[in-house]
Amino acid sequence: MLLDYFPIFIMASLAMAFAGGTVLASFWVGPRQDKSEKLDTYECGMPPIGTPHERFNVKFFLVAMVFVIFDIEIVFLFLWAVIFRRLGWFGLAEMGIFLMILVFALLYVWEKGVLEWASKAK
């Protein structure tokens, strides 16, 4: 039984040895010149503007969280579509409830202004 996994162990060992060997070879063979340009942050080929510890607007994080939530919704919808025929009416009702909750969540997010990129003038 254990001998069945021996080829997998050999292949994994060879892959790790090759990866480690190439990293070590790049350190041994690579140039040792430290230039100030290589230590700078890269910003589209232009000199960096501002400090590296600049704070981001919370709007970026809110948009990212909303994207992740609705991205997971798409995964659930795809899985539901794959087994739709086996679930029958019960599965359709469950998915309808799930989608209604997500529609209400979208309306709530929209009402709170998370989807508005530019702030409204007051």
pLDDT digits (tens, 9 = 90+) for 12-51: 999 999 999 999 999 898 877 777 766 666 667 676 677 7
pTM of the model: 0.49
> What are 25's two structure tokens?
């070879």
Rg (Cα) of the chain, in Å, rounded? 26
Considering only the C-alpha atoms of the chain, give the largest distance between any 2 of them, rounded to a whole number of Å: 73
Cβ burial of 17 (10 Å; 0-12, 13-18, 19+) is exposed
pLDDT tens for each residue of 49-60: 777 677 777 788
- Domains of the chain plus CATH, in order, are 58-112 (1.20.58.1610)
